[in-house]
Amino acid sequence: MRSPEVILTLREVTRRFGGLVAVNKLSMDVKEASIHGLIGPNGAGKSTAFDLISGLTTVSTGEICFRGEAITHMAPEARVASGVCRTFQTPKLFDEMTVLDVVATGRHLHNSVGLWGSMFSIGRKRREEAKTVSAAREFLEIVGLLAKEDAPVADLSYGDRRLVEIARALATEPSLLLLDEVTSGLNPVETATVGDLLRNQVRQGLTIVLVEHDMKFVMGLCERITVMNYGSVIADGSPDQIATDPNVIAAYLGSPKDGQRSRRALRSEQLV
Amino acid sequence: MVLARIGIFATLLLSFASSAMAKDFPVGFFGPLSGPAAAYGSESLAGAQLALEEINAGYLGSDKIKLIPADDTASPGVAAQAVQRMIDIDDVVAVVGGSTSAGTAAAIEVTKEAKVPQLSPLAVDSALTLANNPWFARIAQSSTTWAERTAEWLKKDKGAKSVYLLVRNDNFGIPLADAFEKKAKEIGLELKGKIAYEPTSREFRPTLATVASAKPDYIVLWGYYTEAGLMAKQMAEMQIKFPFYVGSAIGIDQYREIAGPSAEGTYGLLYYLAGSIETDAGKKFVQKWNERYHRTPTQYEGMGYDAMYVLADAMKRAAAKGGISKQTIRDEIFNTKAFQGATGPITILSNGDAQRPLPMAELVDGKVKLDTLLK
Amino acid sequence: MNLSLQLLSGLAVGCIYSLVAVGFSMVYRAMGLVNFAQGDLMMVGAFVGYSIIISAPALPFWLVVPFAAALTASLGYVIAQSALWPAIQRGASQTYLVLLTLGIGIVLSNGARLIWGANPRVYPIPLTHETIRVGQYPVPAVYPLIGLTMVVLIVGLHLLFTRTWLGLALRAAADDAQTASIMGVNRRFASAASFALASGIGAAAGVLYAPITFVSADMGMLGIKAFAAAVLGSLGSIPGSVIGGLVIGIGETLGGQLVSSEYQDSLAFLLMIGILLVKPTGLMGKRG
Amino acid sequence: MLRTAKESLSQQNDFASATSQNRNDWIVFAVIVSILWSVPLSLGGFYLYLGLAVAIYAISALGLQTMVGLAGQLSLGHAAFMGIGAYTSVLLQKTLGLPFLVTLAAAGLTAAAAGLLMAQLIRLSGVYFKIATFGFGIVVHQILSNWTALTGGSAGVRGIPVISIIGFQVETRTGLFVCEALTLTLIYGLLVRLSHGKIGRAFRAIGQNEAAARSVGIPVPRYRMIVITLGCAIAGIAGAYLPHLMRFLSPESFTWYESLTCLIMITVGGLGSLPGAIIGAAVLIVAPEYLRDFAQYKMLAFGVLLVASMILLPKGIAGAGAALSRRKRIHAR
């Protein structure tokens, strides 16, 4: 039985590319207003899992439920409308826009002007546009980039690009946010800022799934963690359970015999 | 003495007056000078320029013609714009030009609107003169004439009973083929079949195989020289042998190069064949061209030369009758009767079409040899 | 007329399409761009071959092919280094790259028209008009040479890509930029080398095609059909390009009789679009 | 969220600066439109004729710019849609005697329908779609040349009817120019409006990164279809004027080379810039008139211009102008 506060459920979701099984019978439950980690070595299938949940790739078999409704075959834009939004492993922005414009694209579904309105309406278009811009500013303020709103995104540092992407995702007002390696390329200060930002958002009711390599970040932030290797789930549990799971340690650091040393390594990584 | 003085003075005055009245008449020339069809435009321009040198050396008395050439790249839009510019900015009194059918068709609408006479050296599309456009004439025969003369010649001179038609699918090939088909039916020349091919085609083996299986007496092509060359070449490679009629392609060097030895024995109808015109004007032109360029003139060079002269002749008559204007030039162009041109005597008919001899030729020993001069 | 003869000429033209299509595919894999100038490079190669024949009439024809290919490859190398690489490095969009190669194509074809003239050129060698007998059929003497060159080039490319360091490096640079940089391969060099190689192959195709027809500045339009061949067989796959080229070559020759010749060009593209709608990655394409 | 008064004040200023780009677009619009209206009409004669040609191709280039420059949907068969518009309009005028305003709308609608048909091919992935648009152009040209019963085939259509608008006969060049310039102004203005705000942002997002555009909820396939249809409809409207300029209509005005010319126009003018499309059309039509003695180098020059502008000025003439004015502004500060 699904507990009432579960917002996202994956049931034996599988994705094959030709002969290769990128995601194999992935099942997981994500609780509302929590941070859920999805970790695993390179090539484990985490980003593919994100593509499946966000709809950029089609599911071969299995089912994805969001708020109790199957979204398995829904178009990606429809999933955004129902409250699922994602970021990418390397930030995908719109390189010829300004920071404000990029975040404003996140308000697309919240602006009621259509093709004709965009050409022929005067007052409504202006009002809607003003709403879009002021909302975009609010989200820029949340990530602390309001001062750079007029800068072309092409001129931003890597860390700022990440933040703009997060602001753009938040601007869609999702109830589930999928963050793909949100800390890679960030310095420790920026990482800490992002951590605080996410905690703050969760406190306001947002659910987050994190694909992450920074163990310290994951262990410190997540309530629950799912570990994948070669497309399959090898462990699922609280950060403490994961840190001591022999399968996880083996997956990260080779054979199970080296368990003791690996565990220490995992712990020490936490301490870095 | 006094009288003599007055006489001298009067002569001086007159010559001064006439030189003051001598005018440069701007005349436009357009045709494809670049692109794949450049040969038509640039060769007829070269012919026109030689004629112009002679004309400006006193043919119009002290008057001169100033030629304004433009490139139409064989595109209708560019042709219309180029001609419009000649009329609006250069204020031309006449336009010589139109080498490709599409370019000419667009240009005649411009000259008609502006009431400027246009004389085309090469355009053959019969639709051009069917529109009853009083401002357009040409010295080339219409496609109907080309096709009908060919059909008659095949039937009467060559005793052909059946033909197979190959047609370039554009407004050069289609009107020729249609007129040919009609005439063939009329005179009882059997049409074994007709295949229209795309202008971009280079592989004709399947088509030729179909043609060969129909066993016609003659294969008649209405297309460009490149296709004619490839067809002759591919027929030879397939070891198919039928008498092959290639139209004006026969007079083009590149046709013979592409076809190679297989060009031998093909027939064609030319605009003009150097040496086929036995009149003084015909001989003088070939001789002059030889002196200047050390070769015989091509058919397009001959046509360009004559177009310029027909225009100059009309201007000369207009001047004699009281003045050169667009209207009088037009009238006199349409009054052209048996003008002794380098390409033969030329008469302009009331619809703007021309009457002129057409040389039917055969390739013998790599040389274009006159078969008959069709009057 | 008999079928086998038609099949032979379809095969010969198909080989030409294949070679140009292989060039398309190599460039697409190495640089991720659709090179609309590929057909024009073939045309330049054919003209270069013409100039070689004119200036060195004693040179045997089979030697003209590598010389013309080498010269055109150098031109391709310069184009890739000077015009294409800066755009690729900047991460320019596909649209931009297509427009860039279109522009290069215009420059090449109109430049060639100014250099070699607007009239078509015919190779002044006996081979142009010679035929030989294959069994009982007369075929142009250049056909065996086309087949041979095709086999040599494809085997050569296979060996290059599987046996030599350069080939492995080029493949690595195309497939996995990280591995390539570990191997010490300069991506810029690898891209330019692939482009040059593709230009050279295109030039060889042009020189071999010339005796069948003639050389003219608008010959590059043939490249568009070769592109359809590459797409048909799956863009980026060399065996796919070869098969696509042969399919289009034979299909055109045999299909010419079956379908209306007025719509020949349309049919080639409708066929391509149809196949793509059924199988979006081409005949040899893998899923996903 | 709490905001101090000072913050909200600065926000208002920021709002002004964010809309300043929009204001600049309208200033450029005003400048371009006033040049467009004043120069050909005051010079008259052949310049008016050039103005007619520029206006037609500027309209067409605006359509292409919206598709290619703004939304990144490359079309290699744009001239075909001008052809569809031209033939639709003229044939309806000639055979049914419909008034020009009706046939103009019909031209836009038919071209839009054909564009929508082509847009179905967006199922094909990026590169394949591009070559399919090329194929589409070839197919349309062949239909125009071969469907003799309807289009008159390669011989073309003669006797183009005079434009008549609610009883007024547009017989003079000036009259035709006023019609064209009105159409151009209207379309340019609507496209500037479209490019501002939500829809324009969505188009640009799709053009710059499709996956990211989907990730924020922009319905990418639908928007791609919309922009392709829109661009083609505009080409159809431009095409409807062409026969009235040339007084003759032939399939040869809608070949691959014409499509290529349209692409060169928007690239030289600046990919993605609406004024750039108009500037590009003007440059490509007017410049050859001043270089008539070098006619044989024309296409070579266009090719060189295309490559050079892509390498040296990736944002075209309009982009260079904008960059220059930005630099000036910065210096002024």
Residue B5 has a pLDDT of: 57
Contact D246 B76 (CB under 8 A): yes
Task: Assign D19 a pLDDT band (cuts: 50, 70, 90).
Answer: low
Choose the final residue of a domain: A125, A141, A173. Answer: A173
Q: C232 CA to chain D: closest CA distance, Å?
A: 10
Residue D4 has a pLDDT of: 43
Residue D121 has a pLDDT of: 84
Question: Which residue does chain A place closest to D207, by CA atoms?
Answer: A94
Residues A268 and A201 in one domain: yes
Contact D271 C272 (CB under 8 A): no
Distance between CA atoms of C38 and C19, rounded to whole angstroms? 11
Question: Which residue does chain C place closest to A58, by CA atoms?
Answer: C288
Has residue C137 got a pLDDT over 90?
no
Structure-block tokens of residue B132: 């009853």
- Alpha-carbon distance values, A143 to A85, A103, A190, C143, D111 (Å): 17, 11, 11, 68, 46
Alpha helix segments (H runs only) across chain C = 3-31, 38-55, 61-79, 85-89, 94-116, 142-163, 165-175, 177-182, 187-209, 222-233, 238-258, 264-278
| Cβ–Cβ contact A133 with D under 8 A | yes
Q: Which residue has the tokens 């796959």?
A: C237
Task: Tell me the chain C residues in contact with residue A17 when contact means C-beta distances shorter than 8 Å.
Answer: 287-288
Has residue C183 got a pLDDT over 70?
no
Mean pLDDT within C213-234:
83
Distance between CA atoms of D140 and C209, rounded to whole angstroms? 29
Is A88 inside a domain boundary?
Answer: no
- Percent of chain A residues past pLDDT 90, beyond the cut: 49
In chain D, which residues touch C (CB < 8 A)? 68, 72, 74, 76, 121, 123-128, 130-132, 134-136, 138-139, 142-143, 146, 207-208, 260, 263-264, 267, 271, 296-297, 299-300, 302-304, 306-307, 310-311, 314
Domain residues for the domain of D225 are 23-252
pLDDT tens digit string along D237-272? 999 999 999 888 988 889 888 999 999 999 888 888
Domain residues for the domain of A127 are 94-173
Cα within 13 Å of Cα(D192), Cβ side: 21
Question: Which residue does chain B place closest to D145, by CA atoms?
Answer: B170
Is D58 inside a domain boundary?
Answer: yes
Has residue A186 got a pLDDT over 50?
yes
- Percent of chain D residues past pLDDT 90, beyond the cut: 49
- Percent of chain D residues past pLDDT 70, beyond the cut: 86
User: What's the domain count of chain A?
Assistant: 2
Distance between CA atoms of D200 and B8, rounded to whole angstroms? 84
Question: Which residue does chain D place closest to A78, by CA atoms?
Answer: D217
| Cβ–Cβ contact C126 with B under 8 A | no
Contact B33 D145 (CB under 8 A): no
SS3 (DSSP) at A169 = helix
Question: Which residue does chain A place closest to C288, by CA atoms?
Answer: A17
Choose the final residue of a domain: A173, A206, A230. Answer: A173
Task: Assign D301 a pLDDT band (cuts: 50, 70, 90).
Answer: confident
pLDDT tens digit string along D117-144? 999 888 777 778 888 898 889 889 989 9
Task: Tell me the chain B residues in contact with residue D302 when contact means C-beta distances shorter than 8 Å.
Answer: none
Is D261 inside a domain boundary?
Answer: no
Structure-block tokens of residue D291: 């270089």
Q: A58 CA to chain C: closest CA distance, Å?
A: 10
DSSP per-residue codes, B90-146: S--SEEEE--SHHHHHHHHHHHHHHT--EEESS---THHHHT--TTEEESSPPHHHH
Q: D247 CA to chain A: closest CA distance, Å?
A: 33
Task: Assign D314 a pLDDT band (cuts: 50, 70, 90).
Answer: low
Contact D307 C231 (CB under 8 A): no
Compare C251 and A139 and report the one with higher pLDDT. Answer: A139
Long-range contacts for D328-333 (Cβ within 8 Å, ≥24 apart)? none
Pairing of strands B162-168, B218-222: parallel
Question: Which residue does chain A place closest to D18, by CA atoms?
Answer: A150
Residues A128 and A258 in one domain: no
Q: A126 CA to chain D: closest CA distance, Å?
A: 9
Q: Among residues B138, B160, B368, which one has the least CA distance to residue B253?
A: B368
Task: Assign D234 a pLDDT band (cuts: 50, 70, 90).
Answer: very high
Q: What is the mean pLDDT of each run of 10 residues along chain B (375 residues)?
A: 55 49 87 79 92 92 90 85 90 90 87 93 88 90 91 92 91 88 93 87 84 92 92 89 91 88 90 87 92 91 94 93 90 92 92 91 89 84
Mean pLDDT within C260-269:
67
Nearest to D215 among A76, A128, A134 (CB): A76
Distance between CA atoms of B326 and A23, rounded to whole angstroms? 83
Nearest to C122 among B36, B240, B257 (CB): B257
Q: How many CB pairs under 8 A join A and C?
A: 6
Nearest to A86 among D14, D190, D215 (CB): D215
Question: Which residue does chain D place closest to C37, by CA atoms?
Answer: D303
Residues A57 and A185 in one domain: yes
| Neighboring chains of C (3 or more beta-carbon pairs < 8 A) | A, B, D
- Look at B114-123, C47-56, D1-10 and tell me which has the smallest mean pLDDT: D1-10
Residue A252 has a pLDDT of: 74
Residue C158 has a pLDDT of: 86
Is D160 inside a domain boundary?
Answer: yes
Distance between CA atoms of B292 and B298, rounded to whole angstroms? 14
Residues A184 and A267 in one domain: yes
CATH number of the domain where residue A1 is located: 3.40.50.300
Q: Do chains D and B touch (3 or more CB pairs under 8 A)?
A: yes
In C255-274, the residues whose Cβ lies within 8 Å of chain B are 255-257, 261-262, 264-265
Task: Tell me the chain D residues in contact with residue C87 when contact means C-beta distances shorter than 8 Å.
Answer: 310-311
Compare C30 and D67 and report the one with higher pLDDT. Answer: D67
Has residue D77 got a pLDDT over 50?
yes
Choose the final residue of a domain: A114, A142, A173. Answer: A173
Mean pLDDT of chain C: 84
Residues A189 and A79 in one domain: yes
Q: C110 CA to chain D: closest CA distance, Å?
A: 5
- Report the predicted TM-score, pTM, of the whole model to 2 decimal places: 0.87
Is A89 inside a domain boundary?
Answer: no
Is D1 inside a domain boundary?
Answer: no
Residue C180 has a pLDDT of: 65
Nearest to A119 among D15, D193, D213 (CB): D193
- Look at B284-288, B295-299, D75-79, D149-153 and tell me which has the smallest mean pLDDT: D149-153
Residues A117 and A202 in one domain: no
Compare C67 and C270 and report the one with higher pLDDT. Answer: C67
Task: Tell me the chain D residues in contact with residue B38 when contact means C-beta distances shorter than 8 Å.
Answer: 296
Task: Tell me the chain D residues in contact with residue A140 when contact means C-beta distances shorter than 8 Å.
Answer: none
Q: Do chains B and A touch (3 or more CB pairs under 8 A)?
A: no
Are the C-beta atoms of residues B333 and B119 closer than 8 Å to each other? yes
Has residue D11 got a pLDDT over 60?
no
Mean pLDDT within C183-207:
88
Nearest to A105 among D1, D202, D211 (CB): D202
Has residue D188 got a pLDDT over 70?
yes
Torsion sign over Cα D43, D45, D51, D54: negative
Q: Which residue has the tokens 């460039």?
A: C27
Contact D252 B88 (CB under 8 A): no
Is A10 inside a domain boundary?
Answer: yes
Q: Is D163 left (phi over 0), alpha (psi -120 to 50) or beta?
A: beta
Contact D200 A118 (CB under 8 A): yes
Residues A120 and A187 in one domain: no
| Neighboring chains of B (3 or more beta-carbon pairs < 8 A) | C, D
- Count other C-beta atoms under 10 Å from residue C155's C-beta: 10
Residue C33 has a pLDDT of: 83
| Cβ–Cβ contact C19 with B under 8 A | no
Residues A164 and A183 in one domain: no
| CATH, domain range C3-278 | 1.10.3470
Contact B81 D53 (CB under 8 A): yes
Has residue D212 got a pLDDT over 70?
yes
Question: Which residue does chain D place closest to C84, by CA atoms?
Answer: D311
Compare A249 and C255 and report the one with higher pLDDT. Answer: A249
Residue B3 has a pLDDT of: 54
Task: Tell me the chain B residues in contact with residue D156 when contact means C-beta distances shorter than 8 Å.
Answer: 76, 102, 105-106, 171
Has residue C285 got a pLDDT over 90?
no
Residue D37 has a pLDDT of: 93
Are the C-beta atoms of residues B137 and B334 closer than 8 Å to each other? yes
Task: Assign D9 a pLDDT band (cuts: 50, 70, 90).
Answer: very low
The dihedral over CA atoms of D38, D40, D45, D47, expressed in degrees to the nearest 10, equals 150
User: What's the domain count of chain D?
Assistant: 1
Are the C-beta atoms of residues D176 and D245 closer than 8 Å to each other? yes
Has residue D70 got a pLDDT over 80?
yes
* DSSP 8-state class, residue C214: -
Mean pLDDT of chain D: 86
Residues A167 and A98 in one domain: yes
Q: A54 CA to chain C: closest CA distance, Å?
A: 17
